[in-house]
């Protein structure tokens, strides 16, 4: 077991925020509000079960003090039937209670998961680049279930024990008030045990959930197709085994700590219960010997002691469970309370007919403004948002901005090539048009409207993006192409695929368009995935096209097919292309040259060569020979 577990529990306890406060409880209760009927039914069934469960000791008392001494067979029969009726009634009522409790619990799980998913979907791209997928899965799965248990299981147990405790005390006082007061006198010891254990167990529970989320993230990264491929290519299987073992050991050790603390807690509660029972039996026996108490009464009181100390013990434990289960609610609320960087405007403008004009007006951008670091730092409410790559770009820029004072206009239907060295800010610039991020200063406009004024659906409908690394879902080819327009017919899908030079390939597959592409499309080649991504954008039919033309990792034939598809898709559209090939640059109406986040040159190919600046240098070192390998394949394909 972790040799220093107690010290880090103490440290966590000092820095942890209080978990049970009025604001948190009100937020928790708000999720139970839609299920008022189910909650009322649960409370009624709790009262019925608690009251009916008090009858057996009274029946036993009547049997010992009245039925047996008086040889009353009729009373014996009635008491026996009563003993059978009690569990029967409790069982039927318990079924109703379970239905109401399960309906409420599953409803709360559904509500939380839906709200969490919707919230996370609205986060900016920066949130996902700084958040582990496994951590997100943990919040949506285990934390939500833990939060539901706080409302259903823990709440039902707490309420049931309170009702049972009050009713038991009332019955015991009516039977023998002196023994009742004696049995009650040790109840404060239960509270002492609870207070000593509750805080530490809650801290251990939070730490356990955090380490479990890290373990899920590790599995997500190494067991995905990309992760598994990387591990195999570099022969790091043994290292990953050791890394996973170390993380799993942390989860194991914290589980042992939690179980050990809980065991000490229950041992102390059992000891307190034994002391109380022994005192009542001893004093009760003395009273029976002196003739001031009947045997039936002491038997009934002894039975009620379990009904008294059991709920008292459970109430102490419920307090601990409630505190630990609220950790799940805290973690859920941490996500639900995250600020959203890309907000829908209060009065959004809808673009009905998009012309495709793009304007950048003195645009400055920094990844450090308004972007969350991710879920790992949510609890401390610190906001930064710089990835290591972004921080390097910002460092090179010198002033913390990835883009600095960029201004230009692209007229409808124009094709503009974006060039520059790696880290110049090209991808960042293209991400501002579909509003994956918002400019820190200045404005980005589509058809003279600031993108921050447009509805997010309008922007998504107007802008189509083909990324360098296209993402495909683990679904059929048809579903992946149709993702851009779910209502499209098969003929429309095939028409888009034909323009993307992929229809013949798909038809040649055994299952055609029903072929499942595998996770991230790994059953397809790079060129095939790229063409499917192009077909998806063609089906969408956007007025503005943004694409990263990096195809150097493909074979010459695939590159030629893709280039031909791109030529078709760019016809009649406003196109902003991160260009890597000379042929694309030569087709551009204008070339924008970025360096260290600044737009330093703009013009045609001939004009920029004549200036002898950065573009001329890039032409000599990067673009000049980029098309030579393609020409034979392109000719053959044609």
pLDDT band for position 62 (cuts 50, 70, 90): confident
HSE-CB at 369 with a 13 A cutoff on CA atoms is 13
What is the mean pLDDT of the segment spanning 404-430?
A: 92
594-628 pLDDT, tens digit each: 999 999 999 999 999 999 889 998 888 877 655 55
Asked whether the predicted pLDDT for residue 395 surpasses 60, the reply is: no
Token code pair at residue 364: 């400055």
Residue 387 belongs to a domain: no
Asked whether the predicted pLDDT for residue 53 surpasses 80, the reply is: yes
**How do beta strands 590-595 and 598-603 pair?**
antiparallel
Between the alpha carbon of residue 4 and those of residues 11, 25, 254, 262, 363, the distances in Å are 11, 33, 11, 19, 51
Same domain as 332, residue 417 = no
What is the mean pLDDT of the segment spanning 553-557?
A: 62
Q: Which three-class secondary structure state does DSSP give residue 239? A: helix
CB neighbours of residue 411 within 10 Å:
13
- Say if CB 577 and CB 414 are below 8 A apart: no
Order of strands, sheet of 358-365, starting from the edge strand that comes earlier in the sequence:
403-410, 358-365, 441-446, 449-450
**pLDDT for res 587:** 85
What is the mean pLDDT of the segment spanning 424-446?
A: 91
Residue 342 belongs to a domain: no
- Structural domain including 135 reads 22-336
**pLDDT for res 416:** 94
DSSP class per residue in 557-602: HHHHHHHHHHHHHTTTSEEEEE--SHHHHHH-SEEEEEETTEEEEE
pLDDT band for position 393 (cuts 50, 70, 90): very low
pLDDT band for position 380 (cuts 50, 70, 90): very low
pLDDT band for position 590 (cuts 50, 70, 90): very high
Asked whether the predicted pLDDT for residue 553 surpasses 80, the reply is: no
Same domain as 503, residue 629 = yes
**pLDDT for res 10:** 46
- Say if CB 454 and CB 346 are below 8 A apart: no
Asked whether the predicted pLDDT for residue 266 surpasses 90, the reply is: no
Q: How far apart are CA 448 and CA 461, in angstroms?
A: 17
Residue finishing a domain among 286, 309, 336 = 336
Residue 134 belongs to a domain: yes
**pLDDT for res 18:** 39
**pLDDT for res 196:** 65
**pLDDT for res 156:** 78
Q: How many angstroms from the chain centroid is the CA of residue 247?
A: 20
What is the mean pLDDT of the segment spanning 52-81?
A: 84
127-138 pLDDT, tens digit each: 777 777 777 777
Token code pair at residue 23: 């604001």
pLDDT band for position 23 (cuts 50, 70, 90): confident
Q: Which range has highest mean pLDDT (216-230, 559-573, 604-618)?
A: 604-618
What kind and span of H or E run contains 463?
Answer: strand 463-466
Residue predicted with more confidence, 232 or 179:
179
Asked whether the predicted pLDDT for residue 435 surpasses 80, the reply is: yes
- Say if CB 479 and CB 393 are below 8 A apart: no
Same domain as 270, residue 130 = yes
What is the mean pLDDT of the segment spanning 445-456?
A: 93
Asked whether the predicted pLDDT for residue 7 surpasses 70, the reply is: no
What kind and span of H or E run contains 60?
Answer: helix 55-62
What is the mean pLDDT of the segment spanning 22-49?
A: 85
Residue 380 belongs to a domain: no
Asked whether the predicted pLDDT for residue 629 surpasses 50, the reply is: no
Same domain as 326, residue 434 = no
Q: How far apart are CA 170 and CA 298, in angstroms?
A: 16
Same domain as 421, residue 331 = no
**How do beta strands 544-548 and 463-466 pair?**
parallel
- Determine the angle formed by the axes of helices 55-62 and 295-336, rounding to 10 degrees: 170
Same domain as 550, residue 438 = yes
527-542 pLDDT, tens digit each: 888 888 889 888 988 9
* CATH code of residue 73: 1.20.1560.10
Between the alpha carbon of residue 536 and those of residues 169, 296, 456, 464, 563, the distances in Å are 71, 82, 19, 9, 16
Specify the DSSP class assigned to residue 621.
I
Between the alpha carbon of residue 12 and those of residues 5, 17, 328, 383, 574, the distances in Å are 11, 10, 16, 21, 54
Residue 355 belongs to a domain: no
Encode 613-632: b = buried (16+ Cβ within 10 Å), e = exposed.
ebbeebbeeebeebbeebee
Same domain as 441, residue 294 = no
Q: How far apart are CA 119 and CA 136, in angstroms?
A: 12
Closest CA to 89 of 40, 56, 64: 56
**pLDDT for res 423:** 85
Q: What is the mean pLDDT of the chain?
A: 79
Token code pair at residue 622: 């990067």
What is the mean pLDDT of the segment spanning 234-259?
A: 84
Residue 611 belongs to a domain: no
Share of the chain above pLDDT 70, in %: 82
**pLDDT for res 95:** 92
Same domain as 332, residue 414 = no
Between the alpha carbon of residue 126 and those of residues 120, 362, 445, the distances in Å are 12, 22, 21
* CATH code of residue 480: 3.40.50.300
What is the mean pLDDT of the segment spanning 447-461?
A: 91
Q: Which three-class secondary structure state does DSSP give residue 402? A: coil
pLDDT band for position 631 (cuts 50, 70, 90): very low
Residue finishing a domain among 310, 336, 362 = 336
**pLDDT for res 494:** 93
Strand partners, 359: 409, 445
Q: Minimum mean pLDDT among 261-270, 365-374, 475-484, 616-625: which range?
A: 365-374
Tell me the Ramachandran region of residue 145: left when phi exceeds 0, alpha when psi lies from -120 to 50, beta otherwise: alpha
Asked whether the predicted pLDDT for residue 397 surpasses 50, the reply is: no
Encode 500-516: b = buried (16+ Cβ within 10 Å), e = exposed.
bbbbebbeeeeeebeee
Residue finishing a domain among 312, 336, 360 = 336
- Say if CB 531 and CB 501 are below 8 A apart: yes
Same domain as 267, residue 162 = yes
Residue 590 belongs to a domain: no
- Indicate the number of domains in the chain: 2
Asked whether the predicted pLDDT for residue 213 surpasses 70, the reply is: yes
Asked whether the predicted pLDDT for residue 316 surpasses 50, the reply is: yes
Asked whether the predicted pLDDT for residue 398 surpasses 80, the reply is: no
Residue 424 belongs to a domain: yes
Q: Minimum mean pLDDT among 1-5, 186-190, 477-481, 555-559: which range?
A: 1-5
pLDDT band for position 452 (cuts 50, 70, 90): very high
């Amino acid at each position: 077991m972790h040799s220093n577990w107690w010290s880090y529990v103490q440290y966590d306890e000092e820095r942890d925020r209080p978990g049970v406060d009025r604001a948190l409880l009100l937020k928790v209760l708000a999720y139970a509000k839609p299920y008022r009927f189910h909650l009322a039914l649960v409370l009624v069934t709790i009262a019925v079960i608690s009251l009916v469960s008090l009858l057996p000791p009274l029946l036993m008392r009547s049997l010992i003090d009245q039925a047996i001494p008086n040889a009353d067979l009729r009373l014996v029969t009635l008491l026996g039937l009563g003993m059978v009726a009690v569990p029967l009634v409790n069982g039927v009522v318990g079924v109703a209670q379970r239905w109401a409790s399960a309906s409420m619990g599953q409803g709360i799980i559904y509500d939380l998961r839906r709200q969490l998913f919707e919230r996370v979907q609205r986060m900016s791209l920066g949130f996902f680049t700084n958040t582990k997928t496994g951590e997100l899965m943990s919040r949506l799965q285990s934390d939500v279930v833990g939060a539901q248990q706080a409302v259903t299981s823990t709440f039902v147990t707490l309420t049931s024990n309170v009702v049972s405790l009050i009713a038991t005390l009332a019955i015991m006082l009516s039977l023998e008030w002196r023994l009742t007061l004696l049995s009650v006198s040790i109840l404060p010891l239960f509270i002492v045990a609870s207070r000593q254990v509750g805080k530490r167990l809650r801290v251990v529970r939070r730490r356990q959930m955090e380490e479990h989320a890290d373990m899920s993230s590790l599995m997500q990264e190494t067991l995905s197709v990309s992760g598994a491929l990387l591990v195999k290519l570099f022969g790091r299987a043994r290292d990953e085994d050791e890394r996973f073992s170390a993380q799993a050991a942390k989860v194991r050790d914290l589980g042992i700590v939690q179980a050990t603390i809980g065991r000490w807690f229950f041992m102390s509660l059992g000891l307190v219960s034994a002391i109380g029972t022994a005192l009542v039996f001893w004093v009760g026996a003395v009273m029976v010997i002196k003739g001031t108490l009947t045997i039936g009464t002491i038997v009934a009181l002894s039975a009620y002691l379990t009904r008294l100390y059991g709920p008292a013990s459970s109430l102490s434990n419920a307090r601990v469970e409630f505190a630990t289960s609220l950790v799940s609610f805290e973690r859920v609320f941490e996500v639900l309370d995250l600020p959203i960087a890309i907000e829908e405007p209060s009065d959004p403008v809808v673009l009905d007919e998009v012309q495709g004009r793009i304007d950048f007006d003195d645009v400055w951008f920094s990844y450090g403004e308004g972007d969350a670091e991710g879920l790992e730092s949510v609890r401390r409410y610190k906001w930064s948002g710089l990835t290591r790559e972004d921080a390097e770009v910002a460092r090179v820029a010198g002033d913390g901005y990835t883009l600095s004072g960029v201004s230009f206009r692209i007229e409808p239907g124009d094709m503009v090539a974006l060039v520059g060295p790696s880290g110049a800010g090209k991808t960042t610039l293209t991400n501002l048009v579909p509003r994956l991020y918002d400019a820190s200063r200045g404005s980005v406009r589509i058809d003279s409207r600031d993108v921050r004024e447009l509805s997010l659906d309008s922007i998504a409908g107007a802008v189509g993006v083909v990324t360098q690394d296209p993402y495909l879902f683990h679904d059929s080819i048809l579903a992946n192409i149709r993702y851009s327009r779910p209502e499209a017919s098969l003929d429309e899908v095939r028409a888009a695929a034909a323009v993307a030079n992929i229809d013949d390939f798909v038809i040649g597959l055994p299952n055609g368009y029903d072929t499942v592409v595998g996770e991230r499309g790994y059953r397809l080649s790079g060129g095939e995935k790229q063409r499917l991504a192009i077909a998806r954008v063609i089906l969408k039919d956007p007025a503005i096209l943004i694409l990263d033309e990096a195809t150097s990792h493909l074979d010459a034939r695939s590159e030629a097919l893709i280039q031909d598809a791109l030529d078709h898709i760019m016809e009649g559209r406003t196109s902003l292309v991160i260009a890597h090939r000379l042929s694309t640059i030569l087709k551009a109406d204008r070339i924008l040259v970025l360096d260290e986040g600044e737009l330093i040159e703009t013009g045609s190919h001939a004009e920029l060569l004549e200036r002898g600046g950065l573009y001329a240098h890039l032409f000599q070192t990067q673009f000049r020979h980029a098309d030579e390998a393609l020409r034979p394949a392109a000719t053959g394909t044609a």
